[in-house]
Amino acid sequence: MKKTLMLVALVASVNAYGGSIDYLAQQDAEYFAHPSMIGKIGTSGAFYNPAGTVFMEDGTYFKVNAQTIFKDYTMNTHKGILSDGQNGVHNSDFASPMVPSFQFVKKDGDRSYFAHAGIAAGGGTVKYDNGISAFEFIGKGIENTFQSGIKNEKGNFILPPDKNAQVNYLGGTTIEGSSFYYNINFGMAQKLNEKFSVAGGIRLIYATRALEGTGNFDLSSTYFGKNKVSVTLDAEREAYGVGGVIGFNYKPTDRLNIGFKYETEVELDFEAKNGKNGLKTTATNPSVEGMIDGALRKELVIREWLVDGNRNLPAMMALGISYDMTDRLTLLASGNYYFIEQANEDHAYDNYTNGYEASIGFDYKLNEKYTLMAGYQYTNTGANEGTYKDTDYALDAHMYCVGVTYSPNETRKYTLSYGFVDYENGTANAEKGSTTFEKTVHTIGMSAEFKL
């Protein structure tokens, strides 16, 4: 149905916080105080620096984290897309009130055991009132299809071109999309000498992606008169996967620490739970209904919801440094690299390049009980105008963070953090118009850590 429908990527994988495509790097409340976590030694290392956990004091550590995410997403469909020449604006401000994660570390001598549980990828739930920009493109695509005519497999017209055909988008229901990749990491770290350690672990992923909503249209054509048309997508996909984690930690001096982590690609073969019944097209005239439905099902971005297919979680590599400049001040820096292009199976990441993040931060001990933290991160998602698609627009971003920890004694520590993510706008080009995507995110993180 023309290339306009190539923007109808209803994949609902909103990358809402830190991390590149389909990956969430915020697995600890401290991340939103300073994202440079890879070079740190502590309970958070169960996720960020597993090899570093073997340099902790002997004991059993448990940490519980909770994040509240306030999201404001907007799609502005510019003139030339709607049949009446007007702009379309679609907004979602649905918050994620509770995003939990957990860490566990048991350190004994030259060996440690670690485990982490959280949401490793996706982006929670979004709800757009009055449909989404994709439905406007669907309407324009239906109009172009009737104006250009419809051919059979042999190239013969089964419906001659109708230059008078017109489609108006009437609005839609609330569009709800969600994407959750539930993750458990566990493994072991071993100190090889006083300066160097290694770690290995296993990742278990359960992923679910869902989208539900309806778009309504008026179709006026020479051959079929006036028709009311509705296009409904009610789809859910789920997958299971297993991956690996490798870590190294090098501590050349008491003040300097270097951490490294590599996560393998996780193959996720998604099963379309509703199958072909995930798409439903209705029209006043059954003939029109069949033509529109058949054209929609041929589009790759629609078909992916109706059939099984891979959308793998990309491999990632991370390197981080922490340096105690003084007894009070610790400087932090880290970088993450995402191998998106290598994970492009079944066209899941067409047109993407590999993404990366770079961050800096510091810890400053105000006294024996309170530590002030702050940091900054730049994220390049590898996305561009050829990848931005409705609820799958991974925008480059600047994140500013601040936080504080309170340690009443040696066995307890509490963290409160705040992060503001300032996303750069992105525009997806179409044949006769474009859609601009905008995001802002505010987040509050809290954690409680205990040593047994």
Amino acid 315: pLDDT:
94
d(CA 123, CA 209) in angstroms, rounded, equals 10
CB 249 within 8 A of CB 318: no
Q: Is the pLDDT of residue 133 over 70?
A: no
Residue 448: C-alpha distances to residues 14, 58, 120, 143, 233 (Å): 28, 19, 20, 57, 41
Task: Tell me the average pLDDT of the chain.
Answer: 84
* Cα separation, 46 vs 49, whole angstroms: 6
Q: Specify whether the CB–CB gap between 375 and 35 falls below 8 A.
A: yes
Rounded to an integer, the average pLDDT of 219-233 is 88
DSSP state of 164: T
Q: Looking at residue 18, what is its pLDDT?
A: 45
Q: Is the pLDDT of residue 370 over 60?
A: yes
Dist CA 305 CA 102 (whole Å):
32
Band of pLDDT at residue 131, cut at 50, 70 and 90: low
Percent of the chain with pLDDT over 90: 46
Task: Specify the DSSP class assigned to residue 265.
Answer: -
* DSSP classification of residue 148: H
pLDDT above 70: residue 23: no
pLDDT band of 57, cuts 50, 70, 90 = very high
* CATH numeric code, 3-451: 2.40.160.60
Provide mean pLDDT across the span 246-265: 97
The residues with which 444 forms a beta bridge, in sequence order, are: 68, 418
Q: How far apart are CA 178 and CA 24, in angstroms?
A: 14
- Residue 253 buriedness (CB in 10 A; 0-12 / 13-18 / 19+): exposed
Distance CA 91, CA 436 (A): 12
Task: Indicate the domain borders of the chain.
Answer: 3-451
Q: What is the rounded average pLDDT of the residues 294-316?
A: 80
Q: Picking from 5-19, 238-252, 357-371, which range would have the lowest pLDDT averaged per residue?
A: 5-19
Q: How far apart are CA 149 and CA 177, in angstroms?
A: 33
Q: What is the pLDDT of residues 380-414, one digit of tens each?
A: 988 777 666 655 677 889 999 999 999 999 999 99
pLDDT band at 214 (very low <50, low <70, confident <90, very high): confident
| Residue 322 CB-density burial (10 A; 0-12 exposed, 13-18 middle, 19+ buried) | buried
How many whole angstroms separate alpha carbon 428 and alpha carbon 384? 8
C-alpha distances in angstroms, 299 versus 1, 4, 138, 321, 433?
8, 11, 11, 46, 20
**Residue-wise pLDDT tens digits, 62-93:** 999 998 888 888 877 765 444 444 457 777 77
Give the SS3 label for residue 78.
coil
The C-alpha torsion from 35 through 266 and 46 to 23, rounded to 10°, is 20
Q: Where are the alpha helices (DSSP H) in 110-263?
A: 133-148
CA 78 to chain centre: 25
Q: Which helix (H) or strand (E) holds 295?
A: helix 286-297
88 Cβ contact partners less than 8 Å away, ≥ 6 residues apart: 75, 76, 77, 81, 82, 133, 136, 169
Calculate the CA 226 to chain-centre distance.
41
Angle subtended by helix axes 133-148 and 286-297, to nearest 10: 110
The region of weakest confidence among 121-135, 170-184, 208-222 is 121-135
And the tokens for 49?
């620096």
What does the block give as tokens for 399? Answer: 């994140």
The whole-angstrom separation of Cα 346 and Cα 344 is: 7
pLDDT at 400: 96
Cα-Cα end-to-end distance for the chain: 62
